[in-house]
């Protein structure tokens, strides 16, 4: 249970910069998710916190103690950081029983046998593994293995827990169960948690705040609902939710968080926080197909998702010519023209974004 | 530089480097006169021709036998495959001089087996195996399993859907085999052929047992004979010969690597079923034929060897009345030479296995987890002393240790020279299994231990070693097996008191004590088969590729 501080962390591998001048502060007991496409540097960042990699520059501190600070020669090895880590592959030692796997951190710390046993039993109880204590990891199912990995973390009462895509190897059904196990763990221990994932739904469901990463940088660090409703840039708007990003211009002043923007000849009223927006983030639930709508579009694709159709719609060149997504219970054929009403959108300024 | 790389680089580079230096120097000055003199002799070129001839025809036999077995075992539905493979592996694992000894007990006028059943040729008729063809035949049998193993691995990597797709496209019968299956298994065939050839080229035991009585020298036996002759320049001369055979072997290895790189088809063999062919009603016939071949190349010679070991005196037929364990008893408990040889071989093979295990665990870890240019170099060089013929390494070690520079010490004639040569030669036999085990251990296993607070020593002993232990144990058994069987290196390096079992069998037979030689040879075969059985039992717990004959 400690505050985690990253200051200007940079890590290069050869000529590629995996982590590029990242700063981040996690509050005591906060659940942080690092979200991004593969190769964005999220796993490297986690391994830097864990101590398996050393930063080229910058400072990592936990609970007021510096863990890594190359400028002054501090590099605490992983084994002295008291961080719990849950691996994607679970990393259970195959030659040890479930009980010994879980109790191993206590064995390493030379905890007296009696206390070790008590803490082991408690951890087994919490994770529902009491019956499995004497089995070998190979005799467990994927979900049970993940619970053992979790219990191994729990038992050492770490200052913080790091998760490296822990659910990637589980089927969809088990993921939901394990997610609630992680949430319970967070509630019970109050430990600071850092969770790496490429699955935005997972990040949204678990984290207090999410750092969306791309090319070694954090593009936005905010609570899930802010990421969803008020993306800071085109990358986040495109990556989070199922939105599309369209280039727009301001068509009026920004007042009380609302403003008019122009999509070619069409003017839409949307939410905004800037007087000079460049892009509009539109999610399917903000686009309504309506006979009285004022924005015409042509259906170019329709996919049935169960309960509703996901329509891909093409705007005419005089309306910016963009592609947007809408959801609709009624079937439309490809080539049909529909009328739209934009009911909700978020306009933002992103001068660096490549034209969408 | 990590300290563990020093002995590795020294073991693989120093002897060969010393050999290169010797062959071009005379006295203290650099020169090529020895080179010119040795290469100008007829005997050199005759031995080279003999080597190429016997190794070449031996390889043809290996390819025919091993290739047929590989096809039938890998892709048909014959039964008892594991037993068949195990039996096919035994000829490679038993020392070549024992193979030769056993076969000379099958044929020829003094064969106890033939005498016992009354079929022996008249006394004085020639032993047919004391000939170029005899050497080639036994080299072929000895190295059959090399072709078998590489080709089988290749065949098993061909996914059945490739053949199914060909049949879907309308290819059938011969066309499918010729155009789909054969091109896909050519890399395995080439690799197996080249390996069998290079190994046959370096073989000493078979041409020594069969060729020397017939006055037929190959390069390794010529080196052996020259070295026994002594003389002031003998070392320089044999090093030229060693270099010559090393060069031919190297040409073979490099040549096949080039061919292989061109042919590589990128088969992964993952995820899909391997080829499988139903033999239908032909199956019993095929099975019977394969077992008949095993009987001829393995069972018959061993029966003949056993028969010879059980008679009271050489020349007598074996009957129920005169059967005796006398020679076995003598060898095990009475004769100081054989007793010492057992002790020497066990000691040398055991300590080589132990030292190599301690050396290879950190080395394998470094090369897998922290690869640098240097570890890659060490990795490459480790192959050298094993790939080159044993005589090359032996001569190189003599040169290196006959007088240790700037001291009066000599390791020649001591245990240590054989021991160090074994370390160099079998380094890679130990290294590969441990490496493949580390490759298969998820690095997260170590990181997880690190994250929960385990320091380096604790991680080594509680996490890494227990997980790598099966592979390390298998590697140790393999080193022990190969070192225990070894003749080529020790034949050139032994002196009174340091004979190994391989040397003793060779010397006993040479001095006419064939019965005793047969008894010692049978004991070695029993030890070898027992160790192979031990490996077979643990095979399921090992990473794939560790037990050579397992998939």
What are the tens digits of pLDDT across the range A324-336? 999 888 888 899 8
pTM over 0.90: no
Name the band, by pLDDT with cuts 50, 70 and 90, for residue B551.
low
**Facing residue for A94 by CB, picked from B453, B458, B467:** B467
Whether residue B449 and residue A52 make contact (CB cut-off 8 A), yes or no, is no
- Residue at token pair 């068949």: B84
Answer yes or no: do B286 and B337 share one domain: no
Confirm or reject contact between B457 and chain A (CB < 8 A): no
**Facing residue for B451 by CB, picked from A50, A88, A94:** A50
> Above 90 in pLDDT, residue B176?
no
Answer yes or no: do B319 and B352 share one domain: no
Q: How many CB pairs under 8 A join A and B?
A: 62
Q: Which segment of B312-321, B438-447, B489-498, B506-515 scores lowest on mean pLDDT?
A: B312-321
Q: Is residue B1 part of a domain?
A: no
| Helices assigned H by DSSP within B280-412 | 283-294, 300-309, 326-329, 336-369, 373-382, 384-387, 390-401
What are the tens digits of pLDDT across the range B450-463? 988 888 889 888 98
Percentage of residues in chain B with pLDDT exceeding 90?
15
Cα A276 to Cα A249, A252, A350, distances in angstroms: 7, 9, 10
Name the band, by pLDDT with cuts 50, 70 and 90, for residue B6.
confident
The alpha carbon of residue B203 and the mean position of all alpha carbons in its chain are separated, in whole angstroms, by 9
d(CA B177, CA B167): 11
| Average pLDDT of chain A, as a whole number | 89
Interface test with A, best of B451, B458, B543 (most A CBs within 10 A): B451
Confirm or reject contact between A83 and chain B (CB < 8 A): yes
Answer yes or no: do B294 and B408 share one domain: no
Q: Is residue B261 part of a domain?
A: no
Q: Which of B323, B338, B371 is the last residue before a domain boundary?
A: B323
> Above 50 in pLDDT, residue A26?
yes
Contacts of A84 in chain B (CB under 8 A): 451-452
Answer yes or no: do B341 and B416 share one domain: yes
**Which pLDDT belongs to residue A356?**
41
Check if the beta carbon of residue A163 is closer than 8 Å to that of residue A195. yes
Q: Which of B222, B215, B228 is closest to B241 using CA atoms?
A: B222
**Facing residue for A108 by CB, picked from B444, B458, B467:** B458
Whether residue A79 and residue B444 make contact (CB cut-off 8 A), yes or no, is no
Whether residue B453 and residue A91 make contact (CB cut-off 8 A), yes or no, is no
**Which pLDDT belongs to residue A98?**
93
**Facing residue for A95 by CB, picked from B452, B453, B466:** B466
Confirm or reject contact between B408 and chain A (CB < 8 A): no
**Which pLDDT belongs to residue B140?**
94
Check if the beta carbon of residue B492 is closer than 8 Å to that of residue B392. no
Percentage of residues in chain A with pLDDT exceeding 70?
99
Q: Is residue B12 part of a domain?
A: no
Homologous superfamily of the A4-229 domain (CATH): P-loop containing nucleotide triphosphate hydrolases (3.40.50.300)
What are the tens digits of pLDDT across the range B12-44? 888 888 887 776 665 544 556 777 777 778 888
> Above 60 in pLDDT, residue B8?
yes
Confirm or reject contact between A102 and chain B (CB < 8 A): no
What are the tens digits of pLDDT across the range A80-98? 888 889 988 888 888 889 9
Whether residue B450 and residue A95 make contact (CB cut-off 8 A), yes or no, is no
Confirm or reject contact between B440 and chain A (CB < 8 A): no
Mean pLDDT of the region B308-318: 78
Mean pLDDT of the region A102-106: 92
What are the tens digits of pLDDT across the range B204-257? 989 998 998 888 999 999 988 888 776 667 777 888 888 888 888 888 888 888
Q: Is residue B412 part of a domain?
A: yes
Confirm or reject contact between B458 and chain A (CB < 8 A): yes
Mean pLDDT of the region A115-140: 90
Whether residue A79 and residue B466 make contact (CB cut-off 8 A), yes or no, is no
**Which pLDDT belongs to residue A212?**
95
Check if the beta carbon of residue B436 is closer than 8 Å to that of residue B546. yes
Q: Which segment of B264-268, B302-306, B334-338, B428-432 scores lowest on mean pLDDT?
A: B264-268
Check if the beta carbon of residue B446 is closer than 8 Å to that of residue B460. no
Give the residue on B whose Cα is nearest the Cα of A89. B444
Cα B33 to Cα A312, B24, B26, B55, B275, distances in angstroms: 85, 8, 7, 30, 57
Range of the domain at B409: 324-550
Mean pLDDT of the region B280-287: 87
**Facing residue for B452 by CB, picked from A77, A94, A108:** A108
> Above 60 in pLDDT, residue A121?
yes
Report residue A298 as tokens: 């042509």
Q: Which of B258, B293, B323 is the last residue before a domain boundary?
A: B323
What are the tens digits of pLDDT across the range B38-96? 777 888 899 999 999 999 999 999 999 999 999 888 888 888 888 888 888 888 888 88
> Above 70 in pLDDT, residue A76?
yes
Answer yes or no: do B50 and B183 share one domain: yes
Contacts of A50 in chain B (CB under 8 A): 447, 451
Interface test with A, best of B373, B452, B466, B469 (most A CBs within 10 A): B452
**3-class SS of residue A167:** coil
Whether residue A79 and residue B447 make contact (CB cut-off 8 A), yes or no, is no
Confirm or reject contact between A138 and chain B (CB < 8 A): no
Domain A243-348, CATH among 3.10.450.200, 2.40.50.140, 3.40.50.300, 1.20.1530.20 = 2.40.50.140
Mean pLDDT of the region A150-162: 88
Q: Which of B482, B488, B462, B456 is closest to B535 using CA atoms?
A: B482
Answer yes or no: do B382 and B290 share one domain: no
Which of B42-46, B383-387, B509-513 ranks highest by mean pLDDT? B42-46
What are the tens digits of pLDDT across the range B410-423? 777 788 888 999 99
Contacts of A95 in chain B (CB under 8 A): 466-467
Confirm or reject contact between A4 and chain B (CB < 8 A): no
**Facing residue for A79 by CB, picked from B450, B466, B467:** B450
Answer yes or no: do B97 and B206 share one domain: yes
Mean pLDDT of the region B249-274: 73
Give the residue on A whose Cα is nearest the Cα of B457. A108
Interface test with B, best of A46, A51, A87, A163 (most B CBs within 10 A): A87
End-to-end CA distance of chain A: 43
Residues shown for chain B: 551
**Which pLDDT belongs to residue A227?**
93
Query: CATH number, domain at B216?
Result: 1.10.3720.10
Check if the beta carbon of residue B131 is closer than 8 Å to that of residue B54. no
Which of A199-213, B179-193, B521-535 ranks highest by mean pLDDT? A199-213
> Above 60 in pLDDT, residue B269?
no
Give the residue on B whose Cα is nearest the Cα of A157. B452
Distance from the A79 Cα atom to the nearest Cα atom in chain B, whole angstroms: 4
**Which pLDDT belongs to residue A226?**
94
> Above 70 in pLDDT, residue B346?
yes
> Above 50 in pLDDT, residue B522?
yes
Confirm or reject contact between A87 and chain B (CB < 8 A): yes
Q: Can you point out the beta strands (E) in B27-122?
A: 29-30
> Above 50 in pLDDT, residue B161?
yes
Confirm or reject contact between B454 and chain A (CB < 8 A): yes
Check if the beta carbon of residue B34 is closer than 8 Å to that of residue B40. no
Confirm or reject contact between A110 and chain B (CB < 8 A): no
Check if the beta carbon of residue B146 is closer than 8 Å to that of residue B134. no
**Facing residue for A109 by CB, picked from B449, B453, B462:** B453
Q: Is residue B28 part of a domain?
A: no
**Facing residue for A91 by CB, picked from B444, B455, B458:** B444
DSSP lists the bridge partners of residue A323 as A314
Mean pLDDT of the region B379-393: 83
Cα A324 to Cα A58, A269, A289, A315, A338, distances in angstroms: 41, 17, 12, 8, 12
Confirm or reject contact between B332 and chain A (CB < 8 A): no
Give the residue on B whose Cα is nearest the Cα of A151. B452
Which A residues, 234 through 253, put their C-beta within 8 Å of a C-beta on chain B? Answer: none
Confirm or reject contact between A95 and chain B (CB < 8 A): yes
Whether residue A104 and residue B449 make contact (CB cut-off 8 A), yes or no, is yes
The alpha carbon of residue A243 and the mean position of all alpha carbons in its chain are separated, in whole angstroms, by 16
Answer yes or no: do B176 and B300 share one domain: yes
Confirm or reject contact between A75 and chain B (CB < 8 A): no
> Above 90 in pLDDT, residue B407?
no
> Above 70 in pLDDT, residue B267?
no
> Above 70 in pLDDT, residue B490?
yes
Report residue A221 as tokens: 């660090």
Whether residue A93 and residue B463 make contact (CB cut-off 8 A), yes or no, is yes
Interface test with B, best of A52, A100, A168 (most B CBs within 10 A): A52
In DSSP notation, A108-146 reads: HTT--HHHHHHHHHHHHHHHT-GGGTTS-GGGS-HHHHH
Name the band, by pLDDT with cuts 50, 70 and 90, for residue A102.
very high
**Facing residue for B453 by CB, picked from A87, A92, A108:** A108
Distance from the B437 Cα atom to the nearest Cα atom in chain A, whole angstroms: 13
Name the band, by pLDDT with cuts 50, 70 and 90, for residue B268.
low
How many helices, marked H, and strands, marked E, lie in chain A? 8, 22
- Domain count across chain B: 2
Name the band, by pLDDT with cuts 50, 70 and 90, for residue A59.
very high
Name the band, by pLDDT with cuts 50, 70 and 90, for residue B112.
confident
Name the band, by pLDDT with cuts 50, 70 and 90, for residue A178.
confident
> Above 60 in pLDDT, residue A355?
no
Q: Is residue B479 part of a domain?
A: yes
Whether residue A79 and residue B467 make contact (CB cut-off 8 A), yes or no, is no
Alpha-carbon torsion, ordered B84, B89, B91, B94, to 10 deg: -130
Whether residue B447 and residue A83 make contact (CB cut-off 8 A), yes or no, is no
Confirm or reject contact between A88 and chain B (CB < 8 A): yes
Confirm or reject contact between B453 and chain A (CB < 8 A): yes
Q: Is residue B252 part of a domain?
A: no
The alpha carbon of residue B410 and the mean position of all alpha carbons in its chain are separated, in whole angstroms, by 29
> Above 70 in pLDDT, residue A118?
yes
Whether residue B450 and residue A78 make contact (CB cut-off 8 A), yes or no, is yes
- Residue at token pair 């005589």: B391
Mean pLDDT of the region A5-25: 93
| Average pLDDT of chain B, as a whole number | 83
Q: Which of B275, B297, B323 is the last residue before a domain boundary?
A: B323
Write out the residue limits of the CATH 2.40.50.140 domain(s) in chain A: 243-348
**Which pLDDT belongs to residue B119?**
72
Q: Can you point out the beta strands (E) in A27-159?
A: 31-35, 57-62, 65-69, 74-75, 83-86
Answer yes or no: do B290 and B160 share one domain: yes
d(CA A124, CA A120): 6
Distance from the A228 Cα atom to the nearest Cα atom in chain B, whole angstroms: 34
Confirm or reject contact between A44 and chain B (CB < 8 A): no
Q: Is residue B7 part of a domain?
A: no
Answer yes or no: do B303 and B170 share one domain: yes
Answer yes or no: do B387 and B484 share one domain: yes
**Which pLDDT belongs to residue B92?**
83
Answer yes or no: do B289 and B394 share one domain: no
Contacts of B467 in chain A (CB under 8 A): 93-95
Q: Which of A156, A169, A300 is closest to B449 using CA atoms?
A: A156
What are the tens digits of pLDDT across the range A261-306? 988 888 889 999 888 899 999 999 889 988 888 889 999 999 998 8
Whether residue B452 and residue A52 make contact (CB cut-off 8 A), yes or no, is no
Mean pLDDT of the region B275-294: 86
């Amino acid at each position: 249970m400690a505050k985690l501080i990253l200051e200007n962390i940079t890590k290069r591998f050869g000529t590629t910069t995996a982590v590029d001048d990242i700063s981040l502060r996690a509050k005591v007991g906060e659940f942080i998710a690092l979200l991004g496409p593969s190769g964005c540097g999220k796993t490297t960042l986690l391994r830097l916190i864990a101590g398996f990699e050393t930063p080229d520059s910058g400072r990592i501190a936990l609970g007021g103690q510096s863990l890594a600070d190359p400028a002054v020669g501090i590099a605490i090895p992983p084994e002295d950081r008291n961080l719990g880590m849950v691996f994607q592959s679970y990393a259970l030692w195959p030659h040890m029983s479930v009980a010994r796997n879980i109790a191993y951190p206590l064995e390493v710390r030379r905890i007296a046998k009696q206390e070790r046993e008590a803490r082991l039993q408690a951890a087994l109880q919490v994770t529902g593994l009491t019956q499995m204590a004497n089995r070998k990891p190979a005799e467990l199912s994927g979900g049970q293995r993940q619970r053992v990995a979790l219990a191994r973390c729990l038992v050492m009462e770490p200052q913080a827990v790091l998760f490296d895509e822990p659910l990637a190897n589980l089927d969809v059904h088990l993921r939901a169960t394990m997610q609630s196990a992680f949430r319970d763990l967070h509630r019970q221990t109050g430990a600071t948690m850092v969770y790496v994932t490429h699955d935005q739904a997972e990040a949204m469901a678990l984290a207090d705040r999410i750092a969306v990463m791309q090319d070694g940088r954090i593009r936005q660090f905010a609570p899930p609902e802010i990421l969803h409703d008020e993306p800071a840039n085109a990358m986040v708007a495109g990556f989070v939710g199922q939105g599309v990003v369209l280039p727009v211009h301001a068509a009026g002043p920004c007042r009380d968080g609302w403003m008019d923007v122009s999509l070619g000849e069409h003017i839409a009223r949307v939410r905004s926080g800037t007087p000079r927006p460049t892009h509009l983030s539109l999610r399917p639930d903000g686009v309504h197909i309506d006979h009285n709508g004022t924005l015409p579009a042509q259906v170019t694709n329709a996919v049935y998702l169960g309960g509703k159709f996901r329509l891909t719609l093409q705007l005419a060149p005089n309306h910016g010519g963009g592609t947007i997504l809408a959801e609709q219970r009624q079937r439309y054929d490809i080539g049909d023209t529909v009328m739209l009403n934009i009911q909700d959108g978020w306009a933002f300024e992103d001068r660096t974004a490549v034209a969408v | 530089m990590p300290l563990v790389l020093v002995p590795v680089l020294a073991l693989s580079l120093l002897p060969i480097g010393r050999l290169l230096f010797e062959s071009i120097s005379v006295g203290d000055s650099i020169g090529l006169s020895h080179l010119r003199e040795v290469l100008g002799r007829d005997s050199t070129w005759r031995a080279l021709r003999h080597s190429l001839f016997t190794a070449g025809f031996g390889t043809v036999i290996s390819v025919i036998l091993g290739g047929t077995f590989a096809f039938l075992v890998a892709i048909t539905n014959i039964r008892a495959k594991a037993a068949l493979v195990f039996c096919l592996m035994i000829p490679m694992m038993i020392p070549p001089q024992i193979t030769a000894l056993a076969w000379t007990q099958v044929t020829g006028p003094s064969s106890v087996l033939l005498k016992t059943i009354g079929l022996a040729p008249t006394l004085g008729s020639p032993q047919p195996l004391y000939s170029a063809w005899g050497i080639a035949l036994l080299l072929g049998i000895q190295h059959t399993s090399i072709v078998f193993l590489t080709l089988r691995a290749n065949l098993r990597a061909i996914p059945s859907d490739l053949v199914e797709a060909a049949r879907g496209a309308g290819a059938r019968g011969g066309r499918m085999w010729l155009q789909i299956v054969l091109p896909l298994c050519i890399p395995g065939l080439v690799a197996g052929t080249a390996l069998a050839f290079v190994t046959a080229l370096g073989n000493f035991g078979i041409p020594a047992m069969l060729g020397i009585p017939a006055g037929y020298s190959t390069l390794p036996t010529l080196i052996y004979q020259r070295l026994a002759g002594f003389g002031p320049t003998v070392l320089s001369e044999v090093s030229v010969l060693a270099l010559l055979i090393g060069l031919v072997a190297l040409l073979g290895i490099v040549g096949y690597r080039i061919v292989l790189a061109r042919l590589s088809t990128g088969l992964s063999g993952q995820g899909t079923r391997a080829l499988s062919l139903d033999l239908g009603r032909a199956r019993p016939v095929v099975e019977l034929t394969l077992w008949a071949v095993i009987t001829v190349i393995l069972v018959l010679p061993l029966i003949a060897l056993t028969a010879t070991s059980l008679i009271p005196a050489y020349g007598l037929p074996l009957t129920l009345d005169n059967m005796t364990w006398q020679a076995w008893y003598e060898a095990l408990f009475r004769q100081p030479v054989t007793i010492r040889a057992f002790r020497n071989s066990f000691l040398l093979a055991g300590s080589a296995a132990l030292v190599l295990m301690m050396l290879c665990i950190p080395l394998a870890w470094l090369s897998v987890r922290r690869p640098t240019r240097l570890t890659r170099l060490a990795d490459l060089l480790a192959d050298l002393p094993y790939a080159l013929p044993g005589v090359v390494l032996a001569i190189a070690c003599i040169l290196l240790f006959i007088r240790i520079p700037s001291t009066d010490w000599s390791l020649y004639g001591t245990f240590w020279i054989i021991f160090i040569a074994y370390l160099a030669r079998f380094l890679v036999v130990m290294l590969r299994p441990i490496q493949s085990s580390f490759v298969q251990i998820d690095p997260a296993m170590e990181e997880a231990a690190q994250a929960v607070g385990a320091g380096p020593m604790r991680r080594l002993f509680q996490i890494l070693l227990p997980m790598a232990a099966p592979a390390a144990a298998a590697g140790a058994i393999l080193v022990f097996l190969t070192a225990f069987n070894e003749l080529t290196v020790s034949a050139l390096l032994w002196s009174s008191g340091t004979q190994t079992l391989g040397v003793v069998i060779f010397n006993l037979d040479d001095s006419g004590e064939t019965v005793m030689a047969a008894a010692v040879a049978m004991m070695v075969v029993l030890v070898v088969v027992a160790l192979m059985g031990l490996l077979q039992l643990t095979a399921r717990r090992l990473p794939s590729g560790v037990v050579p004959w397992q998939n």
